[in-house]
Structure 1
């Protein structure tokens, strides 16, 4: 599909429905969750695929300390374990979350949800609220210091110092937070394109930093929104090597096969938005190239 066809396809609801119907959806059974880990899942029907679940290092003889609701996701060029799609932290999993960030040497976190929506907690507050007066939080062996936060119209960029109190070592982590709406998809596609551009830039920086350390992966979460966003980011990454064609839904299908339906891939409006955003991005990209 070339870019002109892609733009037209974004407006063809029937074709989108047809593509959507081809995505396989097989749910993970509750009995596939390790015993004793049930309360580490926010939703009983959003469970990680065992084959690609991110393993934590066992603490002592407790096998439940190895579990977190997170999966490795294939990235551009079919690079395995390129991303991590992770459940937004709960009060009883926030230590596990930061432990995963440390163990996986992740230098970039992408947040796609609010802490609260309509009075319901969607994500435990795992970051300090201010870089000025209340900039520190400690969870288990990890201290988080918010060093800097830059506010944009629809998203925020934060610089975080993650300290391992047990080993007395620390790392810099970048936190990108898009203020995804409670329902539907963003109506401002320019902000999504800007956010994707910021993410790609920080990923390059983080990869450079990790050349002096063990390899790491990036973390994307936000429950129902994370699949839509990771698909967009993969589309965005692949455009430089795909000639004049672009397969919109192959990343969605690949991810669905990996996660077997555990994360809601989104409504048809999310899929339509993904097409429209990518079309707009490529128009802007080639306009910039021609200038």
Structure 2
């Protein structure tokens, strides 16, 4: 793995990655952003200051792992990956594996999001186990099912289904202008929870959205839903196909909107470095 991006801090026996001085701060005011939008070269220079952070497949020596990754070259950073709790995990490490990472939010708040790949046929059960285990109140899906090739399997039922002992019931489907909101009920044992599934389809893979306002409305609506959720809920799950491009842009936009509101400036470079460390 490329380590140039990482510094490490030890806190109560745990190792946490920190942002390297390489990712020095570049705060921008709204006026700066409007001015520099016309000279994108300045943003490109900042982008190329960010070291790459790919995971070496040798870091994972788990038999059968290939079946659980949508793309063989895109693996979760080991330090921040989500581990599924499984009674078989000591004898079968594969049972605890999912291609997903915890992502810090604004002001480096821990585990605000989970970034993950679009579920495959082989990982639908794992995905719902993660949703339940992490007490996630919201899923944000930023991909079509197919974009030339399959980008994500349809992992939710039309009305009702059971995945790994978790009953998923679609209660309502609400079409908005630029996304579809599904209100779902999850049941396991005697416990029942509500889940909101936002499906945004107008963002083409490896491109930018045609317009910013629909994306910003999605960011706002998801954040409002998160604030209204119960106090003890877990991270918001965000995925596209690989769980790095559109997923990262959505999370970065959410973080930067909060920073702009609270501080009057945005630090795109530092935020992107933080995301690269986590995913």
TM range (shorter): 0.7 to 0.9
Q: Match of 1:25?
A: 52
- Shifted more, 138-147 versus 29-38: the winner is 29-38
Deviation string for 1:14-72 (max 9, x for gaps)?
Answer: 11110110111021011222412221000011110000001110232322111100001
Find the partner of 1:69 among 99, 103, 107. 99
Q: Match of 1:13?
A: 40
Deviation string for 1:127-176 (max 9, x for gaps)?
Answer: 124xxxxx112222112111111112221111011122xx2322100111
d(CA) in 1 for partners of 2:76 and 2:218?
A: 27
Asked if 2 retains the 8 angstrom alpha-carbon contact of 1:24 and 1:257, the reply is no
Q: Match of 2:6?
A: none
Asked if 1 retains the 8 angstrom alpha-carbon contact of 2:259 and 2:265, the reply is no
Change beyond 3 A, Cα 1:159–1:34: farther
Q: In the alignment, is residue 155 of structure 1 matched against residue 144 of structure 2?
A: no
d(CA) in 2 for partners of 1:175 and 1:91?
A: 19
Find the partner of 1:197 among 185, 196, 220. 220
d(CA) in 1 for partners of 2:273 and 2:217?
A: 25
SS in 2 for 1:146: strand
Q: CA deviation at 1:83?
A: 0.7
1:19-98 equivalent positions in 2, closer than 5 A: 19-36=46-63, 37-60=65-88, 61-98=91-128
SS in 1 for 2:265: coil
Q: Match of 2:250?
A: 229
Asked if 1 retains the 8 angstrom alpha-carbon contact of 2:178 and 2:214, the reply is yes
SS in 1 for 2:246: helix
Asked if 2 retains the 8 angstrom alpha-carbon contact of 1:34 and 1:64, the reply is no
Asked if 1 retains the 8 angstrom alpha-carbon contact of 2:137 and 2:233, the reply is no
Q: CA deviation at 1:99?
A: 0.4
CA RMSD of aligned residues (A): 1.4
- Shifted more, 175-184 versus 197-206: the winner is 175-184
TM-score by length of 1: 0.80
Q: In the alignment, is residue 125 of structure 1 matched against residue 149 of structure 2?
A: no
Q: Match of 2:18?
A: none
Q: CA deviation at 1:183?
A: 4.7
Deviation string for 1:168-188 (max 9, x for gaps)?
Answer: 322100111111224512112
After superposing on structure 2, the runs of 4+ consecutive aligned residues of structure 1 that deviate more than 4 Å are none
Asked if 1 retains the 8 angstrom alpha-carbon contact of 2:62 and 2:93, the reply is no
Q: Match of 1:283?
A: none
- Shifted more, 54-63 versus 17-26: the winner is 54-63
d(CA) in 2 for partners of 1:103 and 1:171?
A: 12
SS in 2 for 1:68: strand
Q: Match of 2:195?
A: 173
TM-score by length of 2: 0.84
d(CA) in 2 for partners of 1:44 and 1:112?
A: 21
